[in-house]
Amino acid sequence: MESSSSGYQNLNESDRKISNVFTAKKQAQDFEMSNVSVVPDETFTVAQAVDAFGFGRFQVKLSLFTGLCWMADSMETTILSILSPTLQYEWQITLFQQALATTVVFMGMMLSLPFWGFFSDKFGRKTALTLCSVLLFYFGILSSMSPNYTWLLILRGLVGFAIGCSPQSVTLYAEFLPCKQRAKCVVLLDCFWALGACFEVLLALIVMPTLGWKWLLVLSTAPLLGFACVCPWLPESAKYLVTNGQTDKAIDTLKKVAYDNGKPMLLGRLVVDDVVLEEKRGRFTDLLLPQLRVSSILLWFIWLVCAFCYYGIVLMSTGLFESSYNIRSCSSNLDGRIFKTVQSCTAESHYLTTRDYIDLLWTTLAEFPGIFATIFVIDRFGRKITLVFQFTLFAITLFLLFQYAKNRVLLTITLFFARGIIAGVFQAIYVYTPEVYPTPLRSIGVGTCSAMARLGAMITPYIAQVLLKSSFNTSIIIYITAALLAAIASSLLPIETKGRDMKEEYYVERD
């Protein structure tokens, strides 16, 4: 009996060990399967759900909502080129002060990037965009009440700080787009940027001759007011909700997507598909790892030049279109005194005329063909070749200004092509950059590139608004040189991302 009892106990002990082994394996499998992209049939991820629901009514509404935010960003940027010559004429400010009024907006944008990135990750994309729209509307209205130049600088700087959140609208939008439609839809969102720029010029054409620049600042906040009103209906990112443990809210959001698109809700358990453990998150220093160092440094320079040239064309256009502005007379009168009060040229500086606004509108419309031409070319010839070709063509177009700057029709045509080309460069670099970096580094990689773009935008007013009026030739040569250097940098990029899958991992030894 003792032998039988002992054998029975040994058998039970063996069964318990086997049971424990199977339990441990099952727990390990459950943990693993809930944190990878490939999941069993009874589970689904946010990305799988969005792809299953397809593009429908929900995405159309979201396009219009986020498009309003993108339009507002574009309008607040475009207004800088219209406001500067007016302030110079009315307030008798120096050329340096005129450029500073533009620079302070981009400085506010650059300083706000870390804040809005943290805020949107902490409290959600919807909350960040709601606060952004309210602040931007508030500071935009206050800017119109500026009693003097100092207050205008402070308030426009706060406008720039609020604008820094607008890229979060693209993040929210992209997270609800099916994989197959993502590229095309993001391009359409860029069209809202071009639409906002055109709308701002049309608004200035109507408002400036009668009501003045203060009313232009007030009325330019209209898209912000519209966006603030629709924010209560703006959905929170399902990806954000599920990665922050709010699975029930994420499921409710996905049910809303399914209902609007007329598709059945997926059955099963919602799991996280892109959790990155804290110890594997990217650090800034990882952008300079041997396998990424050259790409990162070159991309920082390319982004800086891209913004430098784009906003340079925007700001330069109004200076060249001022009806009574004569390049040679201003150049000879100023004698390089760019930091002294404008006297010799102020007498020749007047409000922009109807013809000035119409020609400015034509150059702004160039962004539409520029964006679509880039999308057509970039998938056929590759990202690097597209960047090299566009930067080189932009430099050649600027070179034509030496011949055509005094002929109004040819000047308008030249600026039309220049703005369309540089707008296409921005689109190409936005496509290329996220494809270079692996997932743990993608956010910080694009973020640092965006910061470099803000730096380029801060520098360009001193060339396009200050130096242009003292030395036209030198200004154009600087932009041509920058574009050619960017073309060389683009050709030296070590990675061509055409047809290349986005990398999910990278190797680095942690301390």
pLDDT at 499: 61
Domain identity same for 149 and 219: yes
pLDDT at 262: 87
Domain identity same for 67 and 142: yes
Domain identity same for 259 and 321: no
pLDDT at 122: 78
Give yes or no for residue 400 having a pLDDT over 90: yes
216-229 average pLDDT score: 85
Q: With beta carbons less than 8 A apart as the criterion, state whether 69 and 166 touch.
A: yes
Domain identity same for 289 and 188: no
Q: With beta carbons less than 8 A apart as the criterion, state whether 428 and 378 touch.
A: yes
pLDDT at 31: 39
Domain identity same for 224 and 140: yes
493-503 average pLDDT score: 69
pLDDT at 70: 83
Domain identity same for 53 and 197: yes
Out of 278, 304, 338, a domain closes at 278
Q: pLDDT tens digits for 352-370?
A: 778 888 888 888 889 888 8
Domain identity same for 356 and 453: yes
Closest by CA to 115, choosing from 170, 69, 158, is: 158
**Whole-number percent of the chain with pLDDT over 70:** 79
Bridge partners, 269 (sequence order): 43
**Apex CA 420: angle with CA 476 and CA 217, to 5°?**
85
Q: With beta carbons less than 8 A apart as the criterion, state whether 397 and 414 touch.
A: yes
Range of the structural domain that residue 181 is part of: 44-278
End-to-end CA distance of the chain: 61
Of the pLDDT bands very low, low, confident and very high (cuts 50, 70, 90), residue 439 is: low
Q: Count of domains in the chain?
A: 2
pLDDT at 300: 94
Give yes or no for residue 474 having a pLDDT over 80: yes
Give yes or no for residue 14 having a pLDDT over 60: no
Tell me whether residue 456 is in a domain.
yes
Tell me whether residue 251 is in a domain.
yes
Give yes or no for residue 30 having a pLDDT over 50: no
**DSSP single-letter state for residue 495:** -
Q: pLDDT tens digits for 169-198?
A: 777 787 788 877 766 676 677 788 888 889
242-265 average pLDDT score: 85
Burial (0-12, 13-18, 19+ Cβ within 10 Å), 7: exposed
Domain identity same for 391 and 468: yes
Of 13-22, 23-32, 435-444, 471-480, where does the model show the most confidence? 471-480
pLDDT at 443: 66
152-168 average pLDDT score: 86
Q: CATH number, domain at 120?
A: 1.20.1250.20
Of 43-47, 140-144, 355-359, where does the model show the most confidence? 140-144
Give yes or no for residue 344 having a pLDDT over 50: no
Closest by CA to 476, choosing from 397, 417, 361, is: 397
Tell me whether residue 120 is in a domain.
yes
Domain identity same for 102 and 136: yes
pLDDT at 307: 93
Q: Which residue has the higher pLDDT, 148 or 40?
A: 148
Sign of the four-CA dihedral 259, 262, 267, 272: negative
Give yes or no for residue 381 having a pLDDT over 80: yes
144-155 average pLDDT score: 90
pLDDT at 312: 93
79-103 average pLDDT score: 83
Domain identity same for 239 and 301: no
Domain identity same for 305 and 265: no
Q: pLDDT tens digits for 266-321?
A: 887 777 654 444 444 557 777 888 888 899 999 999 999 999 999 999 888 887 87
Helix (H) or strand (E) holding 270: strand 269-270
Average pLDDT value for the chain: 78
pLDDT at 473: 92
By mean pLDDT, which of 296-300, 333-337, 406-410 is the weakest? Answer: 333-337
Give yes or no for residue 37 having a pLDDT over 50: no
Domain identity same for 271 and 299: no
pLDDT at 237: 81
Tell me whether residue 22 is in a domain.
no
pLDDT at 350: 56
